A and B are shown apart, each in its own frame.
Chain A
């Protein structure tokens, strides 16, 4: 029987070297025993490791990563298991990527248990401040993990607490950090940690962040298993917190609703001035009223009302359908892809954006959520009818000489005519409130058209915009 004794620290690398040499000689796993420094010597003595053989030994990154974690497990059989897996992988590596394989399953479970223990170490180590030994502050902790994880668990603390000296003592050994590298040492008796005022504050926090009206002790115990409690200062409070909770809840019930302090109504009255809902006289008043609009249900899902923008004295008004995703987020009309196309086309048609008033027939975004995206939906007739209140106000205040309807929804909102757009495009129709309406495509239609039809529609839009410019010149 070959006996390999692994050191207390640097164990994994020692195992890796030994396992590589043994595997290169294809030594079967049954012929090797793996020992720790504390393992008693074998009764019948042991053979030393043979010299390396000449078989190649390969291990994937994934296997090494798994092995490194399994090496942190407390099961004395782990080294043998890992060696067995390494030997098996020399012949057939496929089992390492088959979750249904029993050997991989066992190793994965062990690795998972180790990862969890490391995670709990990162969570439940509690430092006490120690008298400093120099300019750096010093802290110490005692922790009892389930597995021998001191070496894989502590680099985390060196990264996190680089500017302080610290010591973590465990039954497995101690780790000490003073700014350079972590030094590991043999186990020492549990250190005496001085009282630390911040632990008192921490208990205050723990007791007060707890809501006595919701008791879910199972959730607490599954995430903070009792085996860790003895080194957590706050857990001492738990029995009293639980015992007192029913009384506190009953006291809340008994007390019932309370009377407000005398100053409260004054503050509330000052904040809750009734908004002015009289018919607005200016565009600004109309915009601020529209921001609170609840005339249709679109306001519940959309972010905000998207009011018009541009020159309120312009002779030309452009009306689109409704804000899209980008417009809804930004609160501004025509900033999304279709809006950018419109702005480019306006520039080509000789129409500066600040020489027109740009708005939409419906002022809230309508959509259906699809995962992380919102899919645009055309507003219904009812939405258009409700929102016409704002469009009419806007038209009265801007008083354009010509209005351009971009697309069918705008054409319907302005003229009341729902007939198909194709024969009407490029023509002037009377608006419901009088005044001429020039009908053209909506830029988003052009974005949706197949490549062979889009250029023609785009040049029609451009020509219509140029005609609008001529009509108000």
Chain B
């Protein structure tokens, strides 16, 4: 095989990395290069570019190598795929990261890898790259390392010292589908790795008896990803799994990735059109669980199938299914109830709570403060607005749902 150029390798190993949705670069410790080194981090993340698939580019997201000994049916890099293979040397990854960084193209590096030889070997190489960036080059930017499940806890502990974020993908919402589609992976060891990361983060927060703070461990927390649409799990199943993961491992995010056809597909999975709307609704539902006080079954039970309504957003769907709780008096309702009004976001609710201490709130005030009144109308009462029979009207859903389309034959 001819020697591949850096450009060839970059093409192969970024193509191989695109199925990982996470690109967050926020929420880590504040630091910058005025005291030496290069780079800065902390505060909100920055998305430096967007591709036409609607995903942002914040980090250089690449695989160290796409050689892999595992055979996960949904993955383009599985051992049984005929995809072109390549491998970066650690120096090449470091060089690409720093040169892109200096040109202000990225916030840092998101490094993942196929599993070569053994999980420990792979994880060890990834930790080495992170160490080179941090120690040899004084890199203060963001580093996200994908933790290889089954790697030894020692290596995970080292990774946490150099990385801002660690992540392990649960891959599929149900254990049975993972065992079926990714037989080399084991759900219990994936979860055990997440538990290790959580315990590592907690241990790094405790001061020793001398008051000394231990070194920071993955200060931007951990996240995970689930593929949506590759198995039979319903949205309630998916959201329940997310709720378990958030509560168990203090995850910052669960990413949902619509199962997308890959070149060189496995016969085990259909080449479907990626369910992008379903993915979008799941993200909305996830937000409702984390910031609006909803729980998974509540959101999921709005529809008897256990799946989210694709035509209207999950908060609206919940409100339509629970109309007895509406309309809400904006002047008096507690925060928890205001958060449940469709068209009111967390910021709007914050503004309402502040503003109603200053005086009477009218329709136009809410409009100005960012409320989407076209959605909120049937669910609120104001001094100059009452929904009357609208709240309970039979045609309410039709007001919001897009007009029905004739099914395409093709």
- Per-residue CB contact flags for chain B residues 229-258 toward chain A (1 = under 8 Å, else 0) read 000000000000001101110100000001
A369 and B102 form a contact (CB under 8 A): no
Q: Does A424 contact B (CB under 8 A)?
A: no
A374 and B247 form a contact (CB under 8 A): yes
Q: Does A43 contact B (CB under 8 A)?
A: no
Find B246's partner among A160, A199, A219, A372 (CB 8 Å cutoff). A372
Q: Does A328 contact B (CB under 8 A)?
A: yes
Given the interface pairs A255-B263, A257-B266, the reply to whether A201 lies near B6 with Cβ below 8 Å is yes
Docked pose: A369 CA to B37 CA in angstroms: 43
Docked pose: A257 CA to B82 CA in angstroms: 11
- Other 7 A-B pairs with CB < 8 A, given A207-B11, A238-B52: A100-B361, A160-B39, A201-B99, A215-B54, A216-B52, A249-B261, A374-B244
- Per-residue CB contact flags for chain A residues 259-286 toward chain B (1 = under 8 Å, else 0) read 1110111011001100000000000000
Q: Does B135 contact A (CB under 8 A)?
A: no
Q: Does B157 contact A (CB under 8 A)?
A: no
Find A161's partner among B38, B80, B359 (CB 8 Å cutoff). B38
Given the interface pairs A268-B79, A272-B183, A329-B195, the reply to whether A214 lies near B260 with Cβ below 8 Å is yes
| Closest chain B residue, CB of each to CB of A214 | B53
Docked pose: A168 CA to B278 CA in angstroms: 42
Docked pose: A219 CA to B61 CA in angstroms: 20
Find B18's partner among A211, A253, A374 (CB 8 Å cutoff). A211
B32 and A209 form a contact (CB under 8 A): no
Distance of A397 from chain B, by nearest CB (Å): 22
Q: Does A98 contact B (CB under 8 A)?
A: yes
Distance of A425 from chain B, by nearest CB (Å): 33
For B12, B195, B247, which residue has the most chain A Cβ atoms within 10 angstroms? B247
Find A291's partner among B96, B188, B361 (CB 8 Å cutoff). B188
Docked pose: A238 CA to B49 CA in angstroms: 12
The interface residues of chain B lying within 8 Å CB-to-CB of A126 are: 103-105
Given the interface pairs A98-B359, A201-B7, A219-B50, the reply to whether A127 lies near B271 with Cβ below 8 Å is no
- Determine, out of A22-30, A75-83, A295-303, A383-391, the stretch whose residues face the partner at the interface: A295-303
Q: Does B274 contact A (CB under 8 A)?
A: yes
Q: Does B358 contact A (CB under 8 A)?
A: yes
A204 and B10 form a contact (CB under 8 A): yes
- Per-residue CB contact flags for chain B residues 184-201 toward chain A (1 = under 8 Å, else 0) read 101110011011001100
For B19, B54, B351, B358, which residue has the most chain A Cβ atoms within 10 angstroms? B54
B354 and A98 form a contact (CB under 8 A): yes
B351 and A99 form a contact (CB under 8 A): yes
The interface residues of chain A lying within 8 Å CB-to-CB of B100 are: 198, 201-202, 205
B163-195: which residues lie under 8 A (CB-CB) from chain A?
174-175, 183-184, 186-188, 191-192, 194-195
A218 and B54 form a contact (CB under 8 A): yes
- Per-residue CB contact flags for chain A residues 215-232 toward chain B (1 = under 8 Å, else 0) read 111111001100000001
| Closest chain A residue, CB of each to CB of B96 | A201
List 8 tightest A-B contacts by C-beta distance, closest first: A216-B54, A219-B54, A260-B80, A369-B247, A99-B351, A159-B32, A257-B267, A162-B33
- Per-residue CB contact flags for chain A residues 65-101 toward chain B (1 = under 8 Å, else 0) read 0000000000000000000000000000010011111
Given the interface pairs A160-B39, A209-B17, A245-B52, the reply to whether A123 lies near B47 with Cβ below 8 Å is yes
A369 and B244 form a contact (CB under 8 A): yes
The interface residues of chain B lying within 8 Å CB-to-CB of A371 are: 246-247
| Closest chain A residue, CB of each to CB of B44 | A119
Docked pose: A244 CA to B101 CA in angstroms: 29
For A164, A218, A371, which residue has the most chain B Cβ atoms within 10 angstroms? A371
| Closest chain B residue, CB of each to CB of A224 | B50
Find B33's partner among A97, A127, A161, A235 (CB 8 Å cutoff). A161
| Closest chain B residue, CB of each to CB of A253 | B271
Docked pose: A179 CA to B84 CA in angstroms: 44
Given the interface pairs A303-B248, A374-B248, the reply to whether A292 lies near B267 with Cβ below 8 Å is no
Distance of A393 from chain B, by nearest CB (Å): 19
Distance of B220 from chain A, by nearest CB (Å): 17
The interface residues of chain B lying within 8 Å CB-to-CB of A156 are: 40
Docked pose: A405 CA to B18 CA in angstroms: 53
B261 and A373 form a contact (CB under 8 A): no
Distance of A363 from chain B, by nearest CB (Å): 12
Docked pose: A198 CA to B62 CA in angstroms: 16
Docked pose: A251 CA to B262 CA in angstroms: 10
Given the interface pairs A232-B49, A291-B188, A300-B174, the reply to whether A99 lies near B247 with Cβ below 8 Å is no
Q: Please list 16 pairs of residues, one from A and one from B, whose beta carbons are closer than 8 Å in the complex, sorted by A's number.
A: A119-B44, A122-B46, A128-B103, A156-B40, A205-B14, A211-B55, A213-B260, A216-B53, A223-B56, A252-B265, A264-B71, A272-B183, A292-B188, A369-B295, A369-B296, A371-B246
Find A205's partner among B10, B187, B295 (CB 8 Å cutoff). B10
B184 and A271 form a contact (CB under 8 A): yes
The interface residues of chain A lying within 8 Å CB-to-CB of B96 are: 201
The interface residues of chain B lying within 8 Å CB-to-CB of A135 are: none
Q: Does B145 contact A (CB under 8 A)?
A: no
- Per-residue CB contact flags for chain A residues 409-444 toward chain B (1 = under 8 Å, else 0) read 000000000000000000000000000000000000
B192 and A210 form a contact (CB under 8 A): no
Distance of A223 from chain B, by nearest CB (Å): 5
The interface residues of chain B lying within 8 Å CB-to-CB of A102 are: 368
The interface residues of chain A lying within 8 Å CB-to-CB of B38 are: 160-164
Given the interface pairs A202-B103, A208-B11, A268-B79, the reply to whether A223 lies near B368 with Cβ below 8 Å is no
A252 and B262 form a contact (CB under 8 A): yes
B191 and A303 form a contact (CB under 8 A): yes
B81 and A370 form a contact (CB under 8 A): no
Q: Does B207 contact A (CB under 8 A)?
A: no
Q: Does B372 contact A (CB under 8 A)?
A: no
B52 and A209 form a contact (CB under 8 A): no
Given the interface pairs A160-B33, A208-B15, A267-B79, the reply to whether A123 lies near B46 with Cβ below 8 Å is yes
Given the interface pairs A102-B368, A374-B247, the reply to whether A329 lies near B199 with Cβ below 8 Å is yes
The interface residues of chain A lying within 8 Å CB-to-CB of B271 are: 252-253, 256
Q: Does B264 contact A (CB under 8 A)?
A: yes
Distance of B253 from chain A, by nearest CB (Å): 13
Q: Does B355 contact A (CB under 8 A)?
A: yes
The interface residues of chain B lying within 8 Å CB-to-CB of A198 are: 99-100, 103
| Closest chain A residue, CB of each to CB of B348 | A99
Distance of A103 from chain B, by nearest CB (Å): 11
Q: Does B213 contact A (CB under 8 A)?
A: no
Q: Does B57 contact A (CB under 8 A)?
A: yes
Docked pose: A219 CA to B50 CA in angstroms: 8
Docked pose: A329 CA to B19 CA in angstroms: 29
A214 and B274 form a contact (CB under 8 A): yes
Docked pose: A211 CA to B32 CA in angstroms: 33
The interface residues of chain B lying within 8 Å CB-to-CB of A105 are: 368-369
B244 and A272 form a contact (CB under 8 A): no
Given the interface pairs A159-B34, A196-B103, the reply to whether A209 lies near B246 with Cβ below 8 Å is no
A220 and B51 form a contact (CB under 8 A): yes
Distance of B261 from chain A, by nearest CB (Å): 5
Find B57's partner among A196, A206, A261, A294 (CB 8 Å cutoff). A206
Q: Does B365 contact A (CB under 8 A)?
A: yes
The interface residues of chain A lying within 8 Å CB-to-CB of B54 are: 214-220
The interface residues of chain B lying within 8 Å CB-to-CB of A157 are: 104
The interface residues of chain B lying within 8 Å CB-to-CB of A216 are: 52-55, 276
The interface residues of chain A lying within 8 Å CB-to-CB of B36 are: 162-163
